[in-house]
Amino acid sequence: YLLDSPSLRLDAPLFVTFFQCALTAALCLGLSLGAACGPPCAGLPTLRLDPKVSRSVLPLSAVFIGMVTSNNLCLKHVGVAFYNVGRSLTTVFNVLLSYLLLKQTTSLYALLACGVIIGGFWLGVDQEGAEGTLSWTGIFFGILASLCVSLNAIYTKKVLPVVDGSIWRLTFYNNINACVLFFPLMVLLGEFRTLYHFDKLGSPSFWGMMTLGGVFGFAIGYVTGLQIKFTSPLTHNVSGTAKACAQTVLAVIYFEETKSFLWWTSNLMVLGGSFAYTWVKGLEMRKVQEDPNVKSGERNETGV
């Protein structure tokens, strides 16, 4: 609604994302201040801004900005139902980044699963084109979002020790950094001028929707970090694929759309390839953990 509603007509995707980040940081700080009040706030760490920690989290924040911005821009240019396929290459980028950054090779079966995902992606693009709803701009941002989602999961795991493993602190610092970094981007793209001429800037219903979007963004960000902390980037990306499946079905029902057999086949290929990849990697991890001849360092690398 906020990104692409004909009734709203707000062409300021970075501002929408900036507001989500600002509200998330404010919610983190507010709930932290209420920690002394007892349940349900008890146990939350006290938050204070440490420039040294903020600098350490900055690389993750840059990736985070790329992730949320490209996600929103993809969603702006493609339908909600196609959103799953449009940014389905996260697992493929995981394989590429594991090789480029960690020098980890991938088994043939895992590569075949990635091939199924890529096939599903291209079939989905073809079917969107056949229906006349294809946006190459949306596809570009979908691919960029897939890359950034993969990098975000890896950097989250890497940066957690800097904040003593606290997802609460990481969410706070990440969103504070993001708010600062968004300002020059908004100036560069002229979004302040767009907001100045926006006729619903004083509308309570508009700010109500903005606040609701920010609350959802806060919840998603917190749960995402929590899942990566207690599992792995791979597990997070796969559960995200399952979420996308439900999202696709709900979007088709909600918007009363009719999709072709091949369109649904592309979605099933993406989901099937993602779950096949997970199954193969799960077997490989189990084999490594059970092999006494494997070094502990190799165990940890495979787990990532």
Q: What is the mean pLDDT of each run of 10 residues along the chain (304 residues)?
A: 84 90 89 66 68 91 89 82 78 85 82 91 88 86 89 84 86 91 90 90 92 89 77 69 77 83 88 84 78 53 42
Query: Which helix or strand (DSSP H or E) is residue 142 part of?
Result: helix 136-159
pLDDT at 58: 93
Q: Give the global pTM.
A: 0.76
Angle of helix 90-102 relative to helix 233-254, nearest 10 degrees?
Answer: 160
pLDDT at residue 105, rounded to an integer:
81
What token pair was written down for 287? 């084999």
pLDDT reported for residue 80:
75
Q: How far apart are CA 71 and CA 215, in angstroms?
A: 17
Q: Cα 122 to the chain's mean position, in Å? A: 21
Average pLDDT, the chain: 82
Distances in whole angstroms, Cα of residue 287 to Cα of each of 85, 104, 292, 294: 31, 16, 10, 10
Predicted pLDDT at 36: 56
Alpha carbon distance 168, 123 (integer Å)? 40
Burial class (CB in 10 A: 0-12, 13-18, 19+), 70: buried
Contact 63, 152 (CB under 8 A): yes
Instruction: Extract the tokens encoding 274.
Output: 């993602």
Long-range contacts of 187-192 (CB under 8 A, 24+ apart): 189/14, 191/12, 191/14, 191/15
